[in-house]
Structure 1
Amino acid sequence: MVYPWYRDLQAVLGLGFDGVDRMLALVEESHAGIAEALTPIWFRGVVPPAAIARNAYRLARGINGALGQGLGKGMALLPAPDAQAAGSQELPGRAMAVAALNGAIGDHLEAQGNPFAIRLHFRHRGRLLRPGAAPLAADVEGAGDHILLMIHGLCMADVFWHRYGHHHGRYLAAEAGVTPVSVVYNTGRHVSANGADLSAAIETLVREWPVPVRRLSVLGYSMGGLVARAAIEAGRRQGASWLSLGAHAIYLGSPHHGAPLERGAHQLQALAELNPFLAALGRLTRVRSAGITDLRHGNIVEEDWQGHDRFHHGAGRRRRPLPLHPAFRHHAIAGTMGLRPGDATDRLLGDGLVPIDSAFGRHADAAYDFGLGAKDRLLVTETGHLDLLSSMAVADAMAKWLKS
């Protein structure tokens, strides 16, 4: 959202002071770990390692904290900016930068009340929609009775749907008669939290849509597919009326059973923390957001993570199996950089981020397997993860499904 300059300055300063505090804590921990490792066994326990240095670190952190609080209170005295008006647009460069930041540490931004933390909202052709606060008719061009909610992936914003001159939403509007609405959200939060918020927001959107809604479909790209499933599950638990409008749910390169990249990062973190000389680096990786760690095994409900240390070596493995909701007809699209499934490139890289089986929801355990038939799946070869956003084969398949 477009804030006065001092809101962005306040956000940057808040991040800066938080970063200094975390860095001092990591340096202190690393100092203590190395000092203990180098201390002869017979001296351990007699004198705490780096005892004098600890006081210096605490003093430095105290000064940093006091400066941060002082500047924060001073900037809070400035007049609060007005809420962004319905129909307003956002600078693409700022939107991309803030989206990337939210993906990396969005849960921390939200917990600290940082102005950079994105609140879930809707956009149509780049313009902000504010259901519940402003009439939608003026900001939705040619509103139809079939809404297509487009949910972006990790570290993204709605501007990322436009790639190489192609926009899936605008193409589908022309070919399938849907009205595309982008969902913009903080991808660093837990998937389940975003799903619950999205379900409640959809209820308001449908109620205030300019024309009676006959059908509602969802298109989730990458993490967005998990958020779509989380919203459907939240709607089921909430008894949401919008589920009765369910038409199609399309999952585009979504890691339903997890992403190898996050599992690899988790293993490296665990190995680093076993070494006193690398432990601080291992701890540094713990700053990655809750949204990122949800991608390790494809967690979409609170039960998958509540009461557990999400950085523990076994975290998330016992996720709850959730069958696909019958209110929607479900479709999955996977990409591979190989010439054909199963070749060397496919086995090594997949689409670069998500394996075919994870994207299709295939699993050896029947409780987790989606059981999608050939008519509800599409595999596009020689296509990377980001290329799914500009693939005409993908666009044509989605148009065919949405028209059915």
Structure 2
Amino acid sequence: MSQSPGASAEEHDESNESDESTKVERAVMRGVERVAGVTDEIVHHRGPNGARALVNAFFGDRLDVAGSALSHTMGVRRRGRSVPLTRDGLAAAYPEATGEVVVLVHGLLVTETFWQQGRFGPRLREDLGLTPVTVRYNTGLRISHNGHDLDRILTALVAHWPVPVTRIVLVGHSMGGLVVHSALAQADVTGPGSEWVSRVSDTVTLGSPHLGAPLERGANHAARALGTLRHVRPLAGLLRSRSVGIQDLRHGNILDEEWDGADPADHRGRRVDVPLHPGIRHLAVVGLLGKKIDSRVAQLFGDGIVTAASARGSGRRSPEHRRFPAEDVVVLPGVSHVALVRDESVYAAIRERLGARVDP
């Protein structure tokens, strides 16, 4: 930009600052619009039982306490039906069962039908011989509660699978990735649960908020601020009534110790430095709304729901032993939070990792 005759250096600097500010504002607005688009996409692609999944997400903890029939109970589901975790039940549901299993764990606001978009499970069966198993759970419950239940499900799965299980791969989208790591962190490796843990070769998390989700932190701040204003206190009350499962996303809690006894409005968190489970390969797939990894949109908004730093588990708030090494992180520009379950580049990254077997 050339300086006009007679213009002062101060005016020139102010003009440059104004141009830079405008660029930043435009980048932020583009990011806000894309975040809104991602949120809208989640709401409109919940699939069958979408309304019930939404109710579980926001009020599932209270439904569970009340013993409501609307509360989802964690269990294996196939073709919309619950699968009994018995040898006969699993054999009937999986007549084509192989010894290698991939367990798919969905995220907030949806059910296991969300995985149908990209057909990752059937494709992993076709390409690598992994039998896909999907679970449904109440996303309004504590993540550590769901992690404990996943531990129970996997213990029963290994005990009653139609053929001996030789390999387990755990894939989680968004909150589902935290549930996967919670199950591993809570499993009793010296008891019956050690049988499934010892068979896990890989975990894959797709846009999981390992360091927490900005949207939940924003909701927490908003609830506190609005609570001081008389005319909007009902809105503050509604925000405060969101489920404990959603509240766990504020800091990415996966253990009881991280929330038990803590102030519900705490904005700092109480992280426990639990290492990524040793002896297992862990892959973190990170989506970005922007086309460039170093763009402002990418840095500010990540995949539209989870920031890049949180999805890759690296940042100032990251416990040392929970960080994913650089070689175990795949960053994919132009892939939104929802698209992580259907994008071809995501499937290619998963297939490449799982197809590269590690010698015992």
TM-score (norm: length of structure 2): 0.81
Matched, 1:252 2:252: no
**What is the letter of the counterpart of residue 152 of structure 2?**
A
- Counterpart-to-counterpart distance in 2, 1:276 and 1:188: 28
SS at match of 2:198: helix
Q: Which residue of 1 aligns with 2:344?
A: 392
**How far did 1:93 drift?**
5.7
CA contact (8 A) 1:256 1:361 kept: yes
CA contact (8 A) 1:124 1:180 kept: no
- Counterpart-to-counterpart distance in 1, 2:323 and 2:260: 28
**What is the letter of the counterpart of residue 102 of structure 1?**
N
SS at match of 1:256: coil
Partner of residue 375 from structure 1, selected from 327, 335, 349: 327
- Counterpart-to-counterpart distance in 2, 1:200 and 1:104: 24
Report 1:290-309 matches (<5 A): 290-309=244-263
Over aligned residues, Cα RMSD in angstroms? 1.9
Identity %: 37
Residues 366-402 of structure 1 deviation map (CA, whole Å, 9 limit, x = unaligned): 7345443343221111111001111111111111211
Partner of residue 308 from structure 2, selected from 329, 353, 356: 356
Q: Which residue of 1 aligns with 2:228?
A: 274
Shifted more, 130-139 versus 287-296: the winner is 130-139
SS at match of 1:339: coil
- Counterpart-to-counterpart distance in 2, 1:374 and 1:177: 28
SS at match of 1:135: helix
**How far did 1:232 drift?**
0.6
Partner of residue 345 from structure 1, selected from 297, 315, 320: 297
CA contact (8 A) 1:362 1:369 kept: no
Q: Which residue of 1 aligns with 2:168?
A: 216
SS at match of 1:181: strand
Q: Which residue of 1 aligns with 2:16?
A: none
Q: Which residue of 1 aligns with 2:62?
A: 108
Matched, 1:284 2:242: no
Residues 292-313 of structure 1 deviation map (CA, whole Å, 9 limit, x = unaligned): 0000010000011112232x23
**How far did 1:238 drift?**
7.0
**How far did 1:195 drift?**
0.5
Partner of residue 207 from structure 1, selected from 159, 172, 179: 159
Residues 192-218 of structure 1 deviation map (CA, whole Å, 9 limit, x = unaligned): 000001101111111100000001110
- Counterpart-to-counterpart distance in 2, 1:210 and 1:266: 46
CA contact (8 A) 1:360 1:370 kept: no
Partner of residue 266 from structure 2, selected from 313, 320, 323: 313
- Counterpart-to-counterpart distance in 2, 1:350 and 1:135: 41
- Counterpart-to-counterpart distance in 2, 1:140 and 1:330: 27
Partner of residue 136 from structure 1, selected from 90, 93, 100: 90
- Counterpart-to-counterpart distance in 2, 1:277 and 1:368: 44
**What is the letter of the counterpart of residue 272 of structure 2?**
R
- Counterpart-to-counterpart distance in 1, 2:327 and 2:261: 40
- Counterpart-to-counterpart distance in 1, 2:68 and 2:318: 43
**How far did 1:126 drift?**
4.0
Matched, 1:160 2:114: yes
Distance 1:323 1:349, change over 3 A: same
Q: Which residue of 1 aligns with 2:288?
A: 336
Gaps of 5+ in 2: 1-45
Q: Which residue of 1 aligns with 2:121?
A: 169
Structure number, greater radius of gyration: 1
Report 1:65-144 matches (<5 A): 94-132=48-86, 134-144=88-98
CA contact (8 A) 2:166 2:199 kept: yes
Residues 115-166 of structure 1 deviation map (CA, whole Å, 9 limit, x = unaligned): 1001111023544321138431121141011111100000111111122xx3
TM-score (norm: length of structure 1): 0.73
Distance 1:95 1:131, change over 3 A: same
SS at match of 1:162: helix
Relative contact order (C-alpha < 8 Å, sep 6+): which is higher?
2
Paired residues in the alignment total 309
- Counterpart-to-counterpart distance in 1, 2:111 and 2:307: 23
CA contact (8 A) 1:132 1:208 kept: yes
